[in-house]
Structures are given as structure tokens and as C-alpha cells.
């Protein structure tokens, strides 16, 4: 993950040095201790995606998609986002059509936006999890609450690579979400030319510190 | 929901550097949801089966403080391996609708008044006693649910059948799974699928019979798609009465006219025999041939009775019976081309292809539901494609514990946890385990669901306790049954989590704990029992349905039968219930094993789950060396049935010229009482609609979104037209999702049912349309 982020105003500001150089206070550990995360056994995906993605597509910038819009489309950190744009009512949600934009990303004139890339194109029944919105109203109000989203820049030291703060289930392909112009500005890496993400970024699966048992 | 503008890192107010960062990055990280206060933000994950459909996906419920705050698919659950559908990914939000029932309510002077739960329980017990005294034990009834946990259904059966001594126990699974049960019993002598979901990775051909799996069983559908993608030579055939997302994703979509699946299935068998694709070795060793009564009626009149009279027939007689079902003849009946019928037969008949058939409501909510279940088994039996990996006639369920609580615990009028009330040996077993006198258990079944609500209307039943279901939306020919429930001298108790059209007619409403606010077990479509802990506390005075029944039972004087403490009752109930199934044919896993694993399949024998029943390679209950042993039947042989095509109870005519078909959409489950309170789901499909073919709409002068009045002989509903929408009915049919209480489509449907299973047909009745 990068140490710099581009925000909506387009101002690029040094991130890590400013605020993230203190010790991790565990606020929202999304990863589950003891739960198989798929990070290792699905690791091939990252390399394949890296091979398949032209360098230009990994380094482009847009900056219009931000964490604001990212979390607006979710009900809790890690929930499947809604479909924020219009789709034909008769649309079946079949992969070929969704994937034509969300498979590799790129600019879509109709939306005037860069399409975010799905980290799990192998799941073919897109509308199984992603549904459009046809009204803003609710049937009854909800008392729903959830935890705060993961904090950015959880580097242990100024300038050190931050650990992976979220669950990797269905999101084990780093390149899909963290590179390219469709990526969320704040979490887009600027070193997309490097393909072995796990060389530097490791998942944080617990917040406890090491203690000897005896 | 408005954007909740929050500072950059809330709990980090200590650091001024952070406060500075917040002002530097005003646009960063706003959550759309209300953020929890007062918790450390640390999430712990606990396993549970999903609350919604019968697939039985494992979910991990993310808990922070005393609230459920997130969901992940459970990677340890073999059902879904970490993937859910949009309902499952938001299932925890169903707990938090603002209008959760938190206190008990009692009708006084026509008004619902809040009372303490203990007082409501006193009132219920007193009313039951009084009703039994005045009008007899068979005038009180319990109507439960395939959403009951296993302990819920078990204590209900024990109280009503064992202690009070009435067989007035039914569950809404009668409306969704009864034909599957009678199908299994008549073909194999024992209930529930022989295969498991692993069949999906082995099968070369899938035929979905009237089953829109892309929306109704999306996780299993995705497993099919993934298998097709991975293996390349997998074929999916959608055989249905209307085009859906499943048709779009399938390799071939074949449409048939309503009810003619009976003819199509027979034609497939005709072709299999004509081409000598019969697996003779299997058929000779493991099957026998039979026929039953024909012209068996539709049950639309009160007190309807039917008993089948099976007769043995020879293969030659069966073959003769099939001569009415040549592809040419069936093309005329069904609208399916002879070519397509032959194609289907060639897939089932090809010995090199493993075939799996999936079905759910299309075949079960069918006036000949038992028959069509039998006929699809015939195809698999003639070709020997059964009980082996990938060869699987697979009857899916719609509710999370239709199998676990209704079919296995036996919460139906004729059933006991093991066997049926009519058999003395089964009554003896129940009396012994329940510690009640044998004479308590009545050997005569009383009312199946439709007849139970008719009895309520007639006054034969005066008291009914409804738990975890919403019959004032789901009963067919609804107006009659609602009027019945509203009559004087009828006392209705409803246990639920939200206000519904059923709590609207109640005299007492009990606030129920929901899903993971209590400990319990469900049983899914593939014989998998799934335990969940009490993960979060329920609001207000909510109480589990099991505990409500225990409280009332004690007030009725049955302390001895309901002795458990509140901290142990689920485990104790499970171990007592398990005694009913103590045999290699049905052994259930012990409590401590269930607690540990993400679901365990039965028969659970010597610490091992049985994945394919009736196959001696996998199933220890088979006679050794038998290869296949259909041990539900005395001679170990499965039955191939000669069952004819007969038309629906009510078909379109000159006056009512359209078929009405009803069903679901992926976003909403059952009557929407939970899913409509989940923001994402409601916002995707806020209301129901009527799907209509574009040409029919044009003739009617209706454009998309305009109002259409749907009129039957029983009632009418006016709702928006959906033209070229998500699903597309053929000309002459309309389709309506039933979840929306503002458009009670069941006031229009007909209460005709399969005479053998007594399950109503929600898929077929005649209506006419008007532009409204």
C-alpha cells in the first residue's frame, strides 16, 4: 500500500510522515484469528493479474473515486457494494456484461468514470451479491450500527509498509483494487509496477503481541 | 441514509497529530452506517447458518460489543465455502429494524395493550386450558414453521402430541416441502435427498425443473456455474414455465405449459426405454414398478379425503402406460418440441454423463406434486443415475430448517420425531422418550395446514398458536382464512420478531428472540444439521420460541416433561431428541460435535458423515455387498411409478384467460418481514409487481409501470406492470412475487392442493387482467 494518497481536491500530501508513525492502537481488526483467509492458497491470482495488466493501466490516475464513495455503497467494512449505476431492468447480471467493464477496468464514457476492477471475476453470478438501488426510502427505519472502517496508513514506523487491515476473503487480489485509475484514491498504490505485494504487506490477523508460553 | 460525516479517527482524539490529519483530509473515510460507540471496534467472528433459505450457507457473524456488526461467508462450511448471496451478506441487519417487537401485547377491548411477557404466558396457558375443557383437545392447535429451530419444533410436538394429546401440530413447510416428502416416501420409503451438494462438482448435466436457482439458490447456482467454467463440458438445462435469470445463464432454456412437466417427464422415460438407454442391471436389481389411483381431485372442498391405493405392475405394463407419452403427443400437451424432449432424454440416457436434477417449489407447489417428484425419480432410476457422486435427483428446500425441524422432528399432524402417529411402535417410542402415557398420543392425524385453517374458519379449532411464520400473507385463498381468524371465539397467539399481517389478527403477541439471539439448530437441504450459539442478546423481553413453549407447558402442569434450566435446555433437548434417530439410517451427531463444526450431515455413524445414501460404498446402513440398498422399502428396492398427466385445478378459460404464477426474487425471502428491514434489499426491490409479456401488455394497453388489476374468482390485486423486467412470462401468464403485504396476491390464488401431500399449488390458477 502506498504512503501517499490523492484526495478529491487532487492535492497530494505526504501521508505517512504526518500522522501514521505511531504504534498501532488496534481499532478495527477485520481479519479473523484462526479463520482460513485464502491469502496463501489464492496467491496465484495476484501474479496472474499482474501479468495480465498493462503497466499503464496500473499507474493511471483519476482520483474521483474516494473512500467516501467506497463506504457509502457498503453497510459495514467488507460488505458487498451495491451497484451504484443504472442497469437495464431485464439485465440478468451475467458475468460477460459486468466483466466487460469491471474485469479490467478502463474509462467508460456513459458513466464518465473509470470502472473499478473486481477482485473475484471467477464468481459469475454478479447479482447474487451486488444489487442496484431503485429507491432511497426504507420500509422501516433501521437501528443498524457497525464498526469504523479500517484506519489508513497503519505503518509501524514512518515509511514502513502497512499491514493488510482487511479480510482477504473475496478480496485476495491486491492489484484489482489498489492499482489503476479506477482504484479508490486513498488506497491506490503508486508503485504498481511491483507485482509481489506480499513481499512487503502482510495481513494482520491478530492484535495481540507475542508472549512466551513458558 | 445520510452520509455520516465523522472525524478521521474517532478514538484517537488523544493525538493532536491525528486531529490535525483530520482537518487536512476532510474527505477521508466516511462510513455510510451509524458507527458504534463505546466499543473497542474489535470484531470477533462466530459461526451460524444463514437465517434465510434452505441452502444452509455458513456465515460468520462479526460481533462488536453486544451487537452483530458484519458478516463473512464461513470458509469452513462446505455448503458455500465462504461465498454468500446479498441476503446472507446483510443477514445481521435483519435483527435491527426499528420496529422489533420488544414486549408482549394482549388484545383488550379491541386494542393491543403491552403487558409483561409472564402475564401474556399466563393468559395463553389459561386460554388453552379453558378451550380444551370447553371444546376438546382437538380445538387447540400449533402452527409452526420451517424457520423454527429444531428445539422449537421438538418441544411443540412434545407438548401438543405427547402431553395435551392432540395431533393439531402443523408447520408452514406443508406449504413448501410436503410434496417432496411424499415423493421420497412413495419412491424410496424414507425422506430427504440421497445426495449432497458435492454432486455439483461431479455432474456433467444439470436440469433445473421449474427452479430459478440463480435467484432462489444463488450460492448453489454459482457452484454450478463455477463447475461449468472450470470443466468446460458441463451443460445446464433450464426447464421452466417462465424465463428467468436462470434461463439466461443456462445453456438451454426449455419452456413448458403449466402442469405439463408430468407429461414431459413421462416422455423422457418413454424415450429412454425406446432407445434402450435403460440401465437394466440397476433396474432389475434395485427397482419395482407400481401404479396408483388416477383422477385424484384437487382438495378445494372442506373435509376432502384421499388415500392412494398402490398396485404392483410389470415393466411391460409400465411401458404400455408410457405409450401415451410419445414426444409427438407430449409436444401437443406441453408445448415442448419433440426434439427438445428427445434431447433431454439423450442427456439423461447417455451412460457417460452424470446427471443432476434440481427442483424446489415448481415441482412441490403443484396439484400433482407427489407425482412429479415420483416421475423425476423414475428418470434417475431407469438410468441408474442416483446415489452416486454427480448422479442426483435433488429436491431443494426453501426454509432454513424445513428439513431439520419439520421433516426430521416431524411437526406435521401425522408425524412423530420417529415415524407416524398411526403406528403403535412409533407411538410407544415417543411415549417412552417423552415420559408420557402411551394413551396420550392419539393414533389419528387431524388437520393438514389448509384444513387446519379451514377448521379455524369453521370453528372446529378455537385456539391457534402461530410461531415464526406469517400465514396471513402465505395462505392461498387468503381472504377466507383471514376472515376465519378474525371471527369471534377464535383466539390467536402469534410469536414473531416484527409486526406482520399475522400479528395484526392476533389476540396475544409474544416478542421472539431471532436467529442468533438464541441458541439452536437448523437442518438444510442436504441433511446437514447446523448449530448456532446465542451470539448477541435479543432486545427487550424477547424470548426464544422454545422457551415460550416450555413456559406455557409448565403452566399447564407438564414440569416433568420440560425440566431443563435456561442455561442448558438446548443441549438437553438435542440429546433427548437424538434418541429418536438412533440407527445407522438416521443417526444425528452429538451436541458437542455440532457445536464445533459448521454443520454435520446425518446419518452420522461412527463419527462419519454419510454423503450419499443408499450406496453401500458410502452408506453404512446399506446391506453389505448390496451395491445399492433402498432400505426405506422393505425389499430394499425403489419404486418406479406410472403417474399420468392431469391438468391443473383451474386452467385459463374464456372468462379468466391468464395463468397466475407466484414466487420470489433474490432480494426478498418468504414474506419479506426480515428482508424488507434490510436497507440494501428493500432499496433494490421496494415493492412487488406483476410480470407480463410485452404483447399481452400491448393488447391490454399497459406500459411498463402502469397499474394492472389481477382478478380471479376469489379476489383481486392492483399493482404495477413489469414488462421485459427481471423475469419474462410467456404469453398468457403473469407472475407476481408474493412478499409484499401491500399487494396480497394470495387473496387471488386458489387453495387447491396435491391430494397426497396436501401441499397447495401457488403456481397455477386462472385470472383475468384489466388496465387499472
pLDDT in tens, B130-150: 999 999 999 999 999 999 999
| Residue A2 pLDDT | 38
A chain contacts of residue B33, beta-carbon cutoff 8 Å:
74-76, 144-146
DSSP labels for B230-242?
HHS--EEEEEESS
Locus of grid cell 410467456: B730
B chain contacts of residue A66, beta-carbon cutoff 8 Å:
27-28
| Residue A25 pLDDT | 31
- Using the predicted structure, report yes or no on whether residue B8 has a pLDDT greater than 80: no
| Residue A211 pLDDT | 82
- Cell readout for B353 is 454423463
Query: Alpha-carbon distance B353 to B375, whole Å?
Result: 20
Asked if B683 lies within 8 A of A92 by C-beta distance, the reply is no
Q: What is the pLDDT of residues B154-212, one digit of tens each?
A: 999 999 999 999 999 999 999 999 999 999 999 999 999 999 999 999 999 999 999 99
Locus of grid cell 403485504: B741
**Residue B142 bears catalytic tag:** no
DSSP labels for B35-94?
EP-SS----EEEEEE-SSSTT--EEEEEEETTEEEEEEE-TT-TTTTT---HHHHTGGGG
- Mutate which: A3, A79, A144, vs B, most B CBs within 10 A: A144
Closest-CA distance, A96 to chain B, in angstroms, reads 10
| Strand blocks (E) in B378-455 | 392-395
The minimal CB distance from A67 to the residues B24, B28, B680 is found for B28
| Residue A3 pLDDT | 32
- Cell readout for B161 is 402430541
- Mean model confidence pLDDT for chain A: 75
Q: Which of the residue ranges A157-161, B414-418, B547-551 would you say has the lowest mean pLDDT?
A: A157-161
Which residue, among B249, B245, B271, has the nearest Cα to B336 in the 3D structure? B271
| Residue A43 pLDDT | 65
A141 touches chain B (CB under 8 A): yes
| Residue A42 pLDDT | 61
Q: What is the pLDDT of residues B416-459, one digit of tens each?
A: 999 999 999 999 999 999 999 999 999 999 999 999 999 999 99
**Residue B88 bears catalytic tag:** no
A chain contacts of residue B65, beta-carbon cutoff 8 Å:
none
B200 touches chain A (CB under 8 A): no
Mean pLDDT to the nearest integer, A65-84: 91
Size of interface A-B (CB pairs under 8 A): 243
| Strand blocks (E) in B267-412 | 287-291, 311-313, 355-359, 392-395
Q: Which of the residue ranges B14-28, B615-629, B703-717 would you say has the lowest mean pLDDT?
A: B14-28
Q: Which of the residue ranges A65-69, A85-89, A123-127 would you say has the lowest mean pLDDT?
A: A85-89
**Chain centroid offset of residue B300 CA:** 23
Query: Alpha-carbon distance B366 to B433, whole Å?
Result: 37
Query: Alpha-carbon distance B264 to B343, whole Å?
Result: 12
Number of H helices, E strands in chain B: 25, 30
Asked if A131 lies within 8 A of B229 by C-beta distance, the reply is no
Cα dihedral across residues B713, B715, B717, B718: positive or negative: positive
The residue that leads in pLDDT, B12 or B217, is: B217
Q: Which helix (H) or strand (E) holds B290?
A: strand B287-291
Mean pLDDT to the nearest integer, B715-728: 95
Asked if A125 lies within 8 A of B218 by C-beta distance, the reply is yes
Sorted by sequence, the CB contacts under 8 Å of residue A100 that are 6+ apart come out as none
| Residue A32 pLDDT | 41
- Using the predicted structure, report yes or no on whether residue B35 has a pLDDT greater than 90: no
| Residue B308 pLDDT | 97
Domains, chain B, with CATH or none: 1-35 (no CATH), 38-96 (3.30.200.210), 104-176+401-563 (3.40.50.740), 188-396+631-642 (3.40.228.10), 658-749 (2.40.40.20)
Q: What is the pLDDT of residues B266-320, one digit of tens each?
A: 999 999 999 999 999 999 999 999 999 999 999 999 999 999 999 999 999 999 9
Other Cβ atoms less than 10 A from the Cβ of B202: the count is 16
Other Cβ atoms less than 10 A from the Cβ of B339: the count is 10
Q: Is the Cβ–Cβ distance between B215 and B248 less than 8 Å?
A: no
Top mean pLDDT of A40-49, A179-188, B403-412 is at B403-412
Query: Alpha-carbon distance B386 to B193, whole Å?
Result: 10
Asked if A145 lies within 8 A of B69 by C-beta distance, the reply is yes
Asked if B85 lies within 8 A of A35 by C-beta distance, the reply is no
A74 touches chain B (CB under 8 A): yes
Which residue, among B565, B567, B570, has the nearest Cα to B546 in the 3D structure? B570
- Using the predicted structure, report yes or no on whether residue A91 has a pLDDT greater than 80: no
- Using the predicted structure, report yes or no on whether residue A94 has a pLDDT greater than 70: no
- Using the predicted structure, report yes or no on whether residue A14 has a pLDDT greater than 80: no
Asked if A128 lies within 8 A of B218 by C-beta distance, the reply is yes
Provide the angle, in degrees to the nearest 10, between the axes of the packed helices B369-382 and B261-274.
Answer: 20
| Residue B13 pLDDT | 33
Strands B355-359 and B205-209: parallel
Please identify which of the residues B163, B176, B543, B674 carries the catalytic annotation: B176
Query: Alpha-carbon distance B262 to A142, whole Å?
Result: 46
Q: Could you write out the three-class secondary structure of A131-144?
A: CECCCCCCCCCECC
Q: What is the pLDDT of residues B243-261, one digit of tens each?
A: 999 998 899 999 999 999 9
Which residue, among B534, B717, B756, B707, has the nearest Cα to B47 in the 3D structure? B534
B39 touches chain A (CB under 8 A): yes
- Cell readout for B351 is 451412460
Q: Is the Cβ–Cβ distance between B212 and B665 less than 8 Å?
A: no
A12 touches chain B (CB under 8 A): no
A58 touches chain B (CB under 8 A): no
**Residue B177 bears catalytic tag:** yes
- Cell readout for B611 is 454423503
- Cell readout for B409 is 422432528
Locus of grid cell 471496534: B41
**Residue B398 bears catalytic tag:** yes
- Using the predicted structure, report yes or no on whether residue B462 has a pLDDT greater than 50: yes
Query: Alpha-carbon distance B166 to B151, whole Å?
Result: 19
Q: Is the Cβ–Cβ distance between B184 and B373 less than 8 Å?
A: yes
Q: What is the pLDDT of residues B629-649, one digit of tens each?
A: 999 999 999 999 999 999 999
Locus of grid cell 508460553: A213
Question: Within the 244-273 window of chain B, which residues sit less than 8 Å (CB to CB) from chain A?
Answer: 245, 248-249
- Mean model confidence pLDDT for chain B: 95
Q: What is the pLDDT of residues B379-398, one digit of tens each?
A: 999 999 999 999 999 999 99
| Residue B682 pLDDT | 96
- Cell readout for B651 is 386452467
The ipTM, to two decimals, is 0.80
Asked if B679 lies within 8 A of A80 by C-beta distance, the reply is no
- Cell readout for A40 is 496463501
| Residue B3 pLDDT | 32
The residue that leads in pLDDT, B635 or A86, is: B635
| Residue A190 pLDDT | 81
Q: What is the pLDDT of residues B329-363, one digit of tens each?
A: 999 999 999 999 999 999 999 999 999 999 999 99
| Residue B698 pLDDT | 97
The minimal CB distance from A128 to the residues B43, B69, B86 is found for B86
Mean pLDDT to the nearest integer, B578-592: 97
Strand partners, B216: none
Q: Is the Cβ–Cβ distance between B178 and B757 less than 8 Å?
A: yes
- Report how far apart, in Å, the C-alpha atoms of A131 and of each of A73, A103, B744 are: 11, 18, 25
Question: Within the 70-99 window of chain B, which residues sit less than 8 Å (CB to CB) from chain A?
Answer: 70-73, 75-76, 82-86, 89-90, 93, 96-99
| Residue A16 pLDDT | 33
Query: Alpha-carbon distance A197 to B392, whole Å?
Result: 43
Which residue, among B374, B375, B267, has the nearest Cα to B330 in the 3D structure? B267
Provide the angle, in degrees to the nearest 10, between the axes of the packed helices B545-555 and B150-157.
Answer: 20
Sorted by sequence, the CB contacts under 8 Å of residue A66 that are 6+ apart come out as A7, A8, A184, A185, A186, B27, B28
Sheet strand arrangement including B58-64 = B44-49, B58-64, B67-73
B chain contacts of residue A186, beta-carbon cutoff 8 Å:
28-29
Asked if A125 lies within 8 A of B249 by C-beta distance, the reply is yes
DSSP labels for B565-609?
-TTTHHHHHHHHHHGGG-STTTPPPPHHHHHHSS-EESSEETTEE
| Residue A168 pLDDT | 84
**Residue B422 bears catalytic tag:** no
Rounded to the nearest 10°, the torsion over CA B443, B444, B450, B455 is -120
Q: Which chain B residue is nearest to residue A8, measuring alpha carbons? A: B27
**Residue B617 bears catalytic tag:** no
Identify the band that residue A40 occupies on the pLDDT scale cut at 50, 70 and 90.
low
Q: What is the pLDDT of residues B107-117, one digit of tens each?
A: 999 999 999 99
Sorted by sequence, the CB contacts under 8 Å of residue B598 that are 6+ apart come out as B47, B58, B74, B76, B77, B78, B530
Q: Which chain A residue is nearest to residue B249, measuring alpha carbons? A: A94
Cα dihedral across residues B223, B225, B226, B227: positive or negative: positive
B chain contacts of residue A25, beta-carbon cutoff 8 Å:
11-12
Other Cβ atoms less than 10 A from the Cβ of B589: the count is 24
Asked if A133 lies within 8 A of B76 by C-beta distance, the reply is no
Identify the band that residue A208 occupies on the pLDDT scale cut at 50, 70 and 90.
confident
Strands B707-711 and B716-723: antiparallel
Rounded to the nearest 10°, the torsion over CA B470, B63, B666, B205 is -120
B chain contacts of residue A26, beta-carbon cutoff 8 Å:
40-42
B chain contacts of residue A19, beta-carbon cutoff 8 Å:
15, 17-18, 20-21
Q: Could you tell me where the DSSP H helices lie in chain A?
A: 16-19, 44-52, 55-59, 67-72, 95-102, 174-178
B107 touches chain A (CB under 8 A): no
Q: Is the Cβ–Cβ distance between B60 and B42 less than 8 Å?
A: no
Strands B111-115 and B140-144: unpaired
- Cell readout for A79 is 460488505
**Chain centroid offset of residue B731 CA:** 29
Query: Alpha-carbon distance B758 to B175, whole Å?
Result: 8
Angle at the Cα of B55 (from B54 to B61), degrees rounded to 5? 100
**Please, what is the end-to-end C-alpha distance for chain B in angstroms?**
34
Question: Within the 145-204 window of chain A, which residues sit less than 8 Å (CB to CB) from chain B?
Answer: 145-149, 151-152, 167, 169-170, 186
B chain contacts of residue A29, beta-carbon cutoff 8 Å:
42-43
Query: Alpha-carbon distance B169 to B492, whole Å?
Result: 15
Q: What is the pTM of this model?
A: 0.90
Q: Which of the residue ranges A2-16, A58-72, B488-502, B696-710 would you say has the lowest mean pLDDT?
A: A2-16
A chain contacts of residue B98, beta-carbon cutoff 8 Å:
140-143
Closest-CA distance, A196 to chain B, in angstroms, reads 25
Identify the band that residue B368 occupies on the pLDDT scale cut at 50, 70 and 90.
very high
Please identify which of the residues B93, B399, B467, B530 carries the catalytic annotation: B399
Query: Alpha-carbon distance B607 to B518, whole Å?
Result: 27
Asked if B20 lies within 8 A of A92 by C-beta distance, the reply is no
- Report how far apart, in Å, the C-alpha atoms of B107 and of each of A81, B103, B250, B263, B479 are: 43, 13, 52, 52, 22
Length reported for chain B: 772
Query: Alpha-carbon distance B556 to B182, whole Å?
Result: 35
B225 touches chain A (CB under 8 A): yes
Q: Which chain B residue is nearest to residue A136, measuring alpha carbons? A: B683
Query: Alpha-carbon distance B686 to B681, whole Å?
Result: 8
The residue that leads in pLDDT, B296 or A58, is: B296
Closest-CA distance, A95 to chain B, in angstroms, reads 9
Q: Is the Cβ–Cβ distance between B309 and B227 less than 8 Å?
A: no
Strand partners, B692: B723, B734
| Residue A21 pLDDT | 30
Amino acid at each position: 500500500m502506498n504512503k501517499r494518497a490523492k484526495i478529491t481536491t487532487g492535492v497530494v500530501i505526504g501521508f505517512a510522515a504526518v500522522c501514521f508513525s505511531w504504534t498501532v492502537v488496534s481499532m478495527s481488526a477485520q481479519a479473523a484469528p484462526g479463520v482460513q483467509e485464502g491469502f496463501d492458497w489464492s496467491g496465484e491470482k495476484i501474479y496472474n493479474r499482474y501479468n495480465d495488466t498493462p503497466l499503464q493501466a496500473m499507474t493511471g490516475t483519476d482520483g474521483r473515486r474516494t473512500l467516501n464513495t467506497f463506504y457509502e455503497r457498503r453497510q459495514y467494512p467488507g460488505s458487498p457494494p451495491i451497484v451504484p449505476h443504472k442497469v437495464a431492468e431485464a439485465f440478468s447480471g451475467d458475468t460477460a456484461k459486468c466483466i466487460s467493464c469491471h474485469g479490467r477496468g478502463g474509462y467508460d464514457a456513459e458513466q464518465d468514470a473509470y470502472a473499478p476492477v473486481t477482485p473475484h471475476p471467477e464468481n459469475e453470478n454478479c447479482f447474487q451479491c451486488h444489487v442496484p438501488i431503485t429507491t432511497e426510502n426504507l420500509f422501516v427505519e433501521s437501528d443498524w450500527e457497525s464498526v469504523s472502517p479500517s484506519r489508513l496508513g497503519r505503518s509501524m514506523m514512518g515509511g514502513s509498509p502497512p499491514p493488510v487491515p482487511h479480510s482477504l476473503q473475496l478480496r485476495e487480489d491486491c492489484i484489482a483494487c489498489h492499482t489503476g485509475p479506477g482504484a479508490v484514491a486513498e488506497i491506490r498504490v503508486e508503485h504498481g509496477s511491483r507485482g509481489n505485494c506480499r513481499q512487503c504487506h502482510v495481513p494482520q490477523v491478530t492484535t495481540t503481541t507475542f508472549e512466551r508460553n513458558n | 441514509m445520510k452520509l455520516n460525516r465523522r472525524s478521521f479517527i474517532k478514538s484517537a482524539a488523544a493525538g493532536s497529530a491525528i486531529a490535525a490529519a483530520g482537518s487536512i483530509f476532510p474527505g477521508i473515510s466516511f462510513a455510510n452506517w451509524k458507527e458504534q460507540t463505546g466499543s473497542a471496534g474489535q470484531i470477533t467472528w462466530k459461526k451460524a447458518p444463514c437465517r434465510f433459505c434452505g441452502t444452509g450457507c455458513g456465515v460468520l457473524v462479526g460481533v462488536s460489543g453486544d451487537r452483530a456488526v458484519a458478516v463473512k461467508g464461513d470458509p469452513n462450511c462446505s455448503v458455500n465455502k465462504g461465498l454468500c448471496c446479498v441476503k446472507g451478506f446483510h443477514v445481521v441487519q435483519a435483527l435491527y429494524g426499528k420496529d422489533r417487537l420488544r414486549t408482549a401485547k394482549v388484545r383488550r377491548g379491541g386494542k393491543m395493550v403491552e403487558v409483561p411477557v409472564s402475564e401474556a404466558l399466563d393468559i395463553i396457558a389459561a386460554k388453552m386450558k379453558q378451550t380444551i375443557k370447553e371444546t376438546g383437545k382437538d380445538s387447540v392447535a400449533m402452527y409452526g414453521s420451517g424457520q423454527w429451530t429444531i428445539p422449537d419444533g421438538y418441544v411443540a410436538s412434545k407438548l401438543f402430541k405427547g402431553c395435551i394429546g392432540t395431533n393439531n401440530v402443523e408447520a408452514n413447510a406443508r406449504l413448501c416441502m410436503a410434496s417432496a416428502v411424499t415423493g421420497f416416501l412413495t419412491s424410496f420409503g424414507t425422506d430427504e435427498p440421497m445426495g449432497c451438494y458435492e454432486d455439483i462438482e461431479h455432474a456433467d448435466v444439470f436440469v433445473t425443473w421449474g427452479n430459478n436457482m440463480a435467484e432462489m439458490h444463488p450460492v448453489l447456482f454459482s457452484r454450478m456455474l463455477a463447475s461449468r467454467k472450470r470443466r468446460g463440458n458441463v451443460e445446464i438445462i433450464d426447464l421452466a414455465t417462465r424465463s428467468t435469470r436462470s434461463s439466461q445463464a443456462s445453456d438451454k432454456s426449455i419452456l413448458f405449459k403449466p402442469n405439463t412437466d408430468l407429461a414431459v417427464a413421462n416422455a423422457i422415460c418413454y424415450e429412454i426405454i425406446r432407445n434402450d438407454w435403460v440401465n437394466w442391471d440397476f433396474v432389475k436389481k434395485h427397482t419395482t414398478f407400481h401404479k396408483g389411483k388416477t383422477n385424484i381431485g384437487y382438495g378445494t372442498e372442506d373435509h376432502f379425503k384421499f388415500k392412494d391405493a398402490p398396485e404392483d405392475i410389470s415393466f411391460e405394463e409400465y411401458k404400455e402406460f408410457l405409450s401415451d407419452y410419445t414426444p409427438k403427443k407430449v409436444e401437443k400437451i406441453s408445448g415442448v418440441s419433440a426434439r427438445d424432449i428427445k434431447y433431454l432424454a439423450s442427456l439423461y440416457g447417455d451412460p457417460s454423463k452424470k446427471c443432476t436434477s434440481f427442483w424446489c417449489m415448481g415441482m412441490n407447489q403443484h396439484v400433482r406434486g407427489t407425482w412429479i417428484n415420483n416421475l423425476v425419480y423414475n428418470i434417475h432410476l431407469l438410468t441408474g443415475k442416483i446415489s452416486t457422486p454427480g448422479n442426483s435427483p435433488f429436491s431443494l428446500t426453501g426454509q432454513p430448517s424445513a428439513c431439520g425441524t419439520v421433516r426430521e422432528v416431524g411437526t406435521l399432524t401425522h408425524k412423530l420425531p420417529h415415524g407416524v402417529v398411526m403406528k403403535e411402535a412409533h407411538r410407544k417410542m415417543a411415549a417412552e422418550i417423552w415420559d408420557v402415557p402411551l394413551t396420550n398420543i392419539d393414533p389419528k392425524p387431524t388437520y393438514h395446514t389448509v384444513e387446519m385453517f379451514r377448521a379455524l374458519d369453521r370453528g372446529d379449532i378455537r385456539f391457534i398458536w402461530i410461531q415464526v411464520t406469517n400465514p396471513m400473507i402465505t395462505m392461498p385463498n387468503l381472504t377466507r382464512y383471514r376472515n376465519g381468524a378474525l371471527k369471534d371465539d377464535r383466539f390467536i397467539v402469534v410469536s414473531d420478531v416484527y409486526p406482520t399481517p399475522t400479528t395484526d389478527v392476533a389476540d396475544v403477541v409474544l416478542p421472539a428472540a431471532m436467529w442468533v439471539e438464541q441458541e439452536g439448530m437448523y437442518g438444510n437441504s442436504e441433511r446437514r444439521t447446523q448449530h448456532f450459539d446465542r451470539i448477541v442478546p435479543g432486545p427487550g423481553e424477547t424470548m426464544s420460541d422454545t422457551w415460550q413453549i416450555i413456559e406455557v407447558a409448565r403452566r399447564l402442569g407438564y414440569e416433568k416433561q420440560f425440566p431443563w434450566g435456561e442455561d442448558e435446555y438446548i443441549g438437553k433437548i438435542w440429546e433427548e431428541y437424538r434418541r429418536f434417530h438412533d440407527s445407522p439410517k438416521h443417526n444425528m451427531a452429538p451436541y458437542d460435535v455440532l457445536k464445533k463444526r459448521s454443520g454435520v450431515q446425518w446419518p452420522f455413524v461412527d463419527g462419519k458423515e454419510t454423503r450419499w445414501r443408499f450406496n453401500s460404498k458410502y452408506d453404512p446402513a446399506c446391506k453389505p455387498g448390496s451395491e445399492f440398498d433402498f432400505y426405506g422399502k422393505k425389499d430394499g428396492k425403489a419404486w418406479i411409478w406410472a403417474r399420468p398427466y392431469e391438468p391443473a385445478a383451474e386452467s385459463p378459460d374464456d372468462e379468466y384467460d391468464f395463468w397466475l404464477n407466484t414466487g420470489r426474487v433474490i432480494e426478498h425471502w418468504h414474506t419479506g418481514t426480515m428482508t424488507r428491514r434490510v436497507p440494501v434489499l428493500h432499496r433494490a426491490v421496494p415493492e412487488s409487481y406483476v410480470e407480463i409479456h410485452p404483447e399481452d401488455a400491448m393488447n391490454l394497453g399497459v406500459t411498463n409501470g402502469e397499474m394492472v388489476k389481477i382478478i380471479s374468482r376469489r379476489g383481486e390485486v392492483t399493482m404495477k406492470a413489469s414488462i421485459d423486467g427481471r423475469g419474462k412470462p410467456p404469453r398468457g401468464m403473469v407472475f407476481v412475487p408474493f412478499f409484499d403485504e401491500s399487494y396480497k396476491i394470495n387473496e387471488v390464488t386458489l387453495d387447491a392442493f396435491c391430494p397426497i401431500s396436501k401441499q397447495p399449488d401457488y403456481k397455477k390458477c386462472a385470472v383475468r387482467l384489466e388496465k387499472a
